Chains A and B, each alone.
Chain A
Amino acid sequence: MKLLIMRGVAPTILLILVVASMAFAGAAARGSKIALPTVAFAEVPLYPPLARVARIEGVVHVKVTTDGHRVIGAEAQDGHRLLAAAAEKNARTWEFATHEPMAFTVTYRYKLATRAEGNPNNPVVTLRLPTDVEVATSPVIISDPPAEVR
Chain B
Amino acid sequence: MNQEKLAIDGGKPVRTKPLPLEFPGMHHMDAKEIQAAVRLLRARSPFRYYGIKLQKEVEKLEAAAKAYGKEGEETGVTVGFGSLTGDAAGGVTVSADEAGNLSFAVTFDMSKISGGDAFAIDTGHEGTHVADIRNPLYADPRTTLSDFQREFRGYETSVWVARSLGFATLSYGRVQVWNRSWSKVDQRDAAITRYLTTREQNPLPETRPHNPWPD
By the criterion of a CB under 8 Å from any partner CB, how many residues of chain A are at the interface? Answer: 27
Nearest A residue to B133 via CB reads A53
Question: How many angstroms from the CA of A145 to the CA of B199 in the assembled complex?
Answer: 10
What total of A-B pairs shows CB separation below 8 Å? 118
Given contacts A50-B100, A143-B88, are A121 and B170 in contact (CB under 8 A)? no
> A49-B141, A144-B126 given as contacts; is B95 within 8 A of A149 (CB)?
no
Flag whether A125 is at the interface (Cβ < 8 A).
Answer: no
Residue positions of A touching B, CB distance < 8 A:
46, 48-51, 53-56, 80-82, 85, 119-121, 140-150
A-contacting residues, B16-68, CB 8 Å: none
**A55 to B92, alpha carbons, bound, how many Å?**
12
A120 to B: closest C-beta gap in Å: 6
Q: Which residues of B contact A (CB under 8 A)?
A: 84-96, 98-100, 102, 112-114, 117-118, 121-122, 125-126, 129, 133, 138-141, 144, 146-148, 150-151, 154, 158, 162, 165, 167-173, 199, 201-202, 204-205, 207
Q: Closest chain A residue to B204 by CB distance?
A: A120
Of chain A, the residue at the smallest CB distance from B171 is A148
Given contacts A142-B129, A149-B165, A149-B169, contact A81 B122 (CB under 8 A): no
Can you list 17 A-B contacts with CB-CB less than 8 angstroms, sorted by A residue number?
Answer: A49-B138, A50-B94, A50-B102, A50-B139, A121-B148, A121-B205, A142-B93, A142-B94, A143-B86, A143-B90, A143-B202, A145-B173, A146-B114, A146-B118, A146-B122, A146-B172, A147-B113
Give the docked Cα–Cα distance between A90 and B72 (Å): 40
Q: A54-B102, A121-B146 are in contact. List 18 more A-B contacts (CB 8 A).
A: A49-B139, A53-B133, A81-B99, A121-B205, A140-B94, A143-B85, A145-B89, A145-B172, A145-B173, A145-B199, A146-B113, A146-B118, A147-B121, A147-B170, A148-B118, A148-B172, A150-B168, A150-B171
